[in-house]
């Protein structure tokens, strides 16, 4: 599935200098109190000493990683090496995962705006919940079939998969995506999988900080699922653009993103137009079909590149991709460093506009993250 971004040409690369986080305090706010709140959050995640705190016109408090820390930990705004640079263990320690998330936000090449420090703290937790859920998710890849645990879900064409009476949304999302909860893999597309994982992160934060909105979300999924383009519009905000693309190695844990297949022929095989993933930090991206083998940026580029070498027509005249052949080709290429670099030189380019297959690579210009969720500032508007 392809994202809904405008078909306009790439005109310039994103600047490789961080802007960071923008707290828009609003009229009547006490700047010193907001700064104290921001310093408390930074201190809790051991980032106060490496963060520049700037008061700007219009009631804006800007938080940005210092130039020295940027040069040492993320040159070129490459956030994929933060864990190694700082010796973090984001699996064993939640605070380390929160620190990686905050540092990546402070490195943002475009302003990431929040109406309060509390909303920023919620955004960090949503990303943490999303990463933790994504790491546990394992599914059966199927572009045509779809299934869910029958004790929680029921399906109709009019509503999509909705909750059965008495089923809790958070519990049902976990059962559908995490085989540790059920002992079974359920059939998903990668696009729908990213929706469920992202929704789970949002729902967990709403349950704790905005219970009325969580109850509305629960009722929504008892009546009709929100999917595809509407899911994007309701729950997510997109940052970066084709006119000013994000750097190819800038990612924040919890981002939802798309890798495009730049080969027109194999992109006509259903399910291989591109790949939707969640960035789970430490330079890794979800592999929902083999969760113990998350992708690196290099391995993801190689996988998508070799789809072109494994495309065939089945006995019904339908284009298909042989995933075993893809794996064989990737393994073969990995033994040849020059071949790897030649492929990456093409694949690490920003993608062409939608409908164009020219000189672009597989890297999208944008990333997606959750909308605001706090009482009084939530901009997540359910239908």
Whose structure tokens read 């973090």?
A: 88
Residue 18 in contact with residue 66, Cβ under 8 Å?
no
- Could you state, in order of their start, the residue ranges of all structural domains in the chain? 21-114, 138-235, 256-347
CB atoms within 10 A of CB 153: 21
pLDDT at 6: 36
pLDDT at 15: 45
Q: Is 52 exposed, middle or buried, given 0-12, 13-18 or 19+ CB atoms closer than 10 A?
A: middle
For the chain, first and last CA: distance in Å?
23
pLDDT at 9: 34
Q: Is 325 exposed, middle or buried, given 0-12, 13-18 or 19+ CB atoms closer than 10 A?
A: middle
Q: Is pLDDT above 60 for 11? A: no
| Three-state DSSP class for residue 338 | helix
Q: What is the pLDDT of residues 331-362, one digit of tens each?
A: 999 999 999 999 999 999 999 998 889 999 99
Q: Is pLDDT above 90 for 7? A: no
pLDDT at 315: 86
The pair phi, psi for residue 353, each rounded to 5°, is: -60, 160
**Dihedral sign of CA atoms 224, 189, 273, 285 in order:** positive
Cβ contacts of 239 within 8 Å, gap of 6 or more: 108, 110, 112, 246, 366, 367, 368, 369
Nearest residue to 242 via CA among 75, 34, 2, 9: 9
pLDDT at 143: 62
Residue 5 pLDDT grade (very low, low, confident, very high; cuts 50, 70, 90) = very low
Dig out the tokens for 144 from the structure. Answer: 């045509």
Q: What is the pLDDT of residues 138-156, one digit of tens each?
A: 998 776 777 899 999 999 9
Cα–Cα distance for residue pair 266/271, rounded to 1 Å: 10
**Which string of DSSP letters, residue by residue, matches 111-179?**
-EEESSHHHHHHHHHHHHHHHHHHHH---EE-SS-----TTTEEEETTTEEEEPTT--HHHHHHHHH-H
Global pTM value? 0.92
- Structural element, H or E, at residue 84: helix 82-86
Task: Report the half-sphere exposure of 2 (CA within 13 A, side-chain side).
Answer: 20
CB atoms within 10 A of CB 369: 22
Which range has the worst mean pLDDT, 14-18, 58-62, 255-259, 321-325? 14-18
Whose structure tokens read 């083998």?
A: 293
């Amino acid at each position: 599935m392809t994202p809904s971004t405008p078909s306009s040409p790439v005109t310039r690369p994103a600047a490789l200098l961080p802007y960071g986080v923008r707290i828009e305090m609003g009229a009547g706010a006490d700047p010193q109190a907001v700064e104290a709140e921001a310093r408390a959050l930074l201190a809790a995640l051991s980032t106060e000493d490496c963060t520049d705190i700037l008061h700007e016109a219009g009631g804006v408090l800007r938080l940005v990683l210092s130039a020295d820390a940027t040069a040492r930990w993320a040159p070129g705004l490459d956030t994929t090496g933060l864990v190694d640079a700082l010796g973090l263990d984001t699996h064993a320690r939640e605070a380390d995962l929160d620190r990686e998330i905050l540092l990546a936000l402070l490195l943002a090449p475009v302003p990431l705006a929040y109406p309060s420090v509390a909303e920023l703290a919620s955004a960090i937790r949503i990303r943490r919940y999303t990463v933790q859920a994504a790491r546990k998710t394992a599914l059966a890849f199927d572009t045509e079939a779809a299934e869910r645990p029958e004790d929680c879900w029921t399906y109709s064409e009019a509503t999509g998969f909705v909750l059965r009476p008495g089923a809790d949304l958070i519990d049902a999302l976990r059962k559908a995506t995490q085989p540790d909860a059920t002992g079974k893999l359920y059939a998903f597309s990668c696009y729908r999988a990213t929706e469920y994982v992202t929704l789970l992160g949002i729902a967990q934060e709403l349950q704790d900080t905005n219970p009325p909105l969580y109850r509305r979300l629960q009722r929504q999924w008892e009546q009709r699922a929100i999917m595809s383009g509407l899911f994007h519009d309701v729950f997510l905000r997109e940052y970066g653009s084709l006119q000013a693309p994000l750097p190819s190695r800038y990612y924040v844990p919890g981002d939802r993103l798309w890798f495009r297949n730049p080969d027109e022929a194999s992109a006509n095989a259903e399910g291989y137009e591109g790949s939707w993933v969640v960035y789970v930090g430490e330079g890794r991206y979800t592999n929902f079909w083999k969760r113990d083998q998350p992708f690196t940026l290099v391995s993801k580029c190689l996988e998508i590149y070799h789809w072109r070498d494994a495309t065939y027509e089945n006995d019904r005249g339908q284009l298909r991709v042989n995933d075993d052949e893809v794996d064989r080709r990737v393994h073969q290429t990995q033994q040849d460093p020059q071949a790897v670099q030649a492929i990456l030189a093409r694949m690490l380019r920003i993608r062409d506009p939608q409908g164009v297959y020219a000189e672009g690579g597989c890297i999208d210009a944008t990333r997606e993250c959750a909308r605001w969720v706090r009482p009084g500032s939530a901009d997540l508007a359910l239908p």
